[in-house]
A = this chain, B = another copy of it.
Amino acid sequence: MSEGRAIPEATVARLAVYLRVLGGLAGTGLGTISSEALASAAGVNSAKLRKDLSYLGSFGTRGVGYEVEVLQERISTALGVSEHRAVVLVGVGNLGLALAGYGGFRNRGFDIAGLFDSDARRIGQRIAEILVRPMSDLPAVVRRESVSIGVIATPAEAAQAVCDQLVAAGVTSILNFAPAVLVVPENVDVRKVDLAVELQILSFHEQRKSAGLKVVL
């Protein structure tokens, strides 16, 4: 059953960052990179970077560093970026448009298998070459493309109903951008992205700083 050690979530998030930084390095002709250099480019300390990489095995060269290509390969494989994964995106408002056009998804191996909206005026449009479909098409697309991940970018009021439809269609992981708390069955994994919470946290620290209070990061 269990191969390799489990990788902590915090590490998974950073691995994705390292991969992007390495991508930015492509074309510099740099064949090898030290943990110190990569860490500083990614904004973490080198001990943490080495610890993170150690979850993927040991494939650096002491006294030298890591081969950039090997590093990219290992991280990509671990994250599963090499395989394509189909996702469906529901809600084609401003945020939905931003997400559909966002290159970061495709770069990380995510293909948008379908865009869905309840607004008849949207249906039939093409966004970034992807057709906007009615919600009634959802079950068929999810089945046909073996979609297991759904992204919700609707207004808060619609989010729970959309979530239910996604679950009914067979989606088991949901990324929720709507400002609503979703109720799902046990076997479904929901993750919430709250654009405002990030701003809130930033602002909180800002206030603490100016108040001269100790700030815990």
Our pick among B79, B97, B99, B198 for the contact of A191 (Cβ within 8 Å) is B198
Provide the residues of chain B in CB contact with A151, threshold 8 Å: 199
| A6→B193 contact, CB < 8 A | no
| A206→B189 contact, CB < 8 A | yes
Contact of A135 with B by CB under 8 A: no
Contact of A124 with B by CB under 8 A: no
| A6→B205 contact, CB < 8 A | no
Find the residue from A12, A21, A199, A209 having the highest chain B CB count within 10 A: A199
Contact of A214 with B by CB under 8 A: yes
Contact of A170 with B by CB under 8 A: no
Q: In the docked arrangement, what's the CA distance between A104 and B200, Å?
A: 10
Q: Which of A141-168 contact B (CB under 8 A)?
A: 148-149, 151
Given the known A-B contacts A97-B94, A98-B94, are A194 and B149 also in contact in the complex, defined by CB atoms under 8 Å? Answer: no
Contact of A125 with B by CB under 8 A: no
Within the complex, what minimum Cβ distance (angstroms) separates A5 from chain B?
Answer: 9
Residues of A within 8 A of B (CB): 1-4, 6-9, 12-13, 16-17, 20-21, 41-43, 79-81, 85, 87, 93-95, 97-99, 101-105, 107-110, 148-149, 151, 172-173, 175, 179, 181, 189, 191, 193-209, 212-217
